[in-house]
């Protein structure tokens, strides 16, 4: 056993230096802004999952910068809407049957746990869907797998911006692909709401962009993350890569659990903690203009989803999700019956509005 000096960031912006043991087989886990990170065994991490405790695995991110709102570049974020005609043209390409077919298939796997055989199988099926979706696109598009140290890869589809000046600015739509059952990694976890519904929001937005022939000025990436349920590991790896490479991410929109609609609720949740306030306000403007549903501000706590990974690397990020969380989340009962496809389509409209208004039509 040896010690490693690690910089830990707390919410008031003070940096604490803590000497923690570097232990073989353990992961460095952070459960709040205030508490120092701790090395944990798999059993200890699983106890957090069983308790629905949010956490971030920072084992591979000990050089993570101090996240400061003043360091986030928000100059590109729109404050008004200008491309309503272009947005509504793309909205016409949304296919409701295609959305339902995707969630039906994606939730049919025994589970999509990041180290399981079906977690890998489901990821390869998703990859094939993404690759098929960009065929025939009028602009320039590509798909890549982001491999990790575990079985399941993350997936990134990219549409290149057509404007020579703005193409280096990247807008991201993201959602995690994995699922988990709190009782065991071997048990069934259909994850229809968490997060087949978010995965299809990202995919259907890509398909609608391709089918409509929309070509943006800025570049747009569509991302599906592995290993979100065990500490945001897939998205953190990509955010770290982009930070090190100097990728100019001007906005990251995360879609996690948009599928469950509580009885009598016709509002979506606009999440206000661990997000960029300017990008969040942009989501509110988009919701008012393009959605039939209303909106309510919500919070989800420390490390609740993949937008946090990008915020931790000083990229502007925001999240929209269901207003009321699925009561059977992380169980075998998170199945197709609990998904409102009417609500999922509302989130697809929000995602399309975000990338068209932000991406800007090139013609």
Q: By three-state DSSP, how is residue 89 classified?
A: helix
Q: Is it true that the peptide bond before 187 is cis, omega within 30 degrees of 0?
A: no
> DSSP characters for 117-148?
HHHHHHHHHHHHHHHHHTTT-SS-EEEEEE--
The verdict on whether 100 is a catalytic residue reads no
> Which token pair is 185?
């990694």
The verdict on whether 60 is a catalytic residue reads no
The verdict on whether 330 is a catalytic residue reads yes
Between CA 38 and CA 23 the distance in angstroms is: 11
The verdict on whether 241 is a catalytic residue reads no
Sign of the torsion angle spanned by Cα atoms 48, 52, 53, 57: positive
Between CA 150 and CA 173 the distance in angstroms is: 23
Catalytic residue among 194, 334, 357, 360: 194
The verdict on whether 292 is a catalytic residue reads no
Other C-beta atoms within 10 Å of 81: how many?
A: 16
Catalytic residue among 61, 110, 148, 176: 176
Catalytic residue among 57, 169, 221, 256: 256
How far is residue 142 CA from its own chain's centroid? Answer: 19
The verdict on whether 194 is a catalytic residue reads yes
Catalytic residue among 57, 323, 330, 346: 330
Rg (CA), the chain: 19
Bridging pattern class, strands 248-255 and 56-57: unpaired
* Catalytic positions, written as ranges: 176, 194, 228-229, 256, 330
């Amino acid at each position: 056993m040896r010690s490693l000096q690690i910089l830990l960031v707390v919410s008031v912006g003070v940096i604490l230096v803590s000497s923690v043991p570097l232990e073989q087989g353990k992961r460095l886990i952070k459960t709040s802004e205030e508490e120092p990170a701790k090395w944990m065994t798999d059993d200890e991490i699983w106890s957090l999952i069983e308790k629905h405790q949010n956490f971030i695995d920072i084992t591979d991110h000990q050089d993570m910068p101090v996240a400061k709102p003043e360091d986030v570049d928000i100059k590109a974020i729109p404050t008004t809407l200008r491309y309503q005609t272009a947005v509504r043209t793309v909205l016409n390409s949304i296919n409701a049957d295609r959305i339902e077919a995707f969630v039906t298939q994606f939730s049919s796997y025994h589970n999509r746990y990041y180290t399981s055989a079906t977690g890998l199988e489901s990821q390869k099926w998703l990859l094939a869907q993404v690759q098929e979706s960009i065929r025939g696109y009028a602009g320039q598009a590509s798909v890549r797998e982001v491999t990790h140290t575990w079985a399941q890869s993350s997936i990134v589809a990219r549409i290149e911006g057509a404007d020579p000046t703005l193409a280096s600015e990247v807008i991201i739509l993201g959602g995690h692909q994995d699922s988990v059952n709190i009782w065991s990694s071997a048990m069934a976890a259909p994850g229809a709401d968490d997060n087949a519904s978010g995965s299809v929001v990202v995919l259907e937005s890509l398909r609608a962009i391709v089918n409509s022939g929309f070509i943006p000025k800025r570049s747009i990436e569509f991302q599906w993350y592995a290993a979100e349920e065990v500490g945001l590991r897939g998205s953190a790896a990509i955010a770290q890569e982009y930070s090190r490479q100097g990728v100019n991410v001007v906005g990251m929109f995360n879609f996690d659990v948009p599928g469950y609609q509580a009885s009598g609720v016709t509002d979506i949740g606009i999440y206000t903690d661990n997000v960029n306030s300017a990008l969040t306000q942009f989501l509110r403007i988009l919701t008012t203009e393009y959605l039939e549903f209303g909106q309510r501000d919500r919070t989800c706590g420390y490390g609740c989803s993949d937008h946090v990974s990008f915020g931790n690397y000083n990229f502007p990020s925001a999240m929209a999700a269901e207003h009321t969380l699925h009561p059977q989340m992380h169980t075998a009962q998170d199945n197709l019956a609990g998904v409102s496809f009417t609500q999922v389509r509302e989130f697809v409209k929000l995602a399309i509005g975000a990338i068209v208004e932000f991406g800007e039509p090139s013609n």
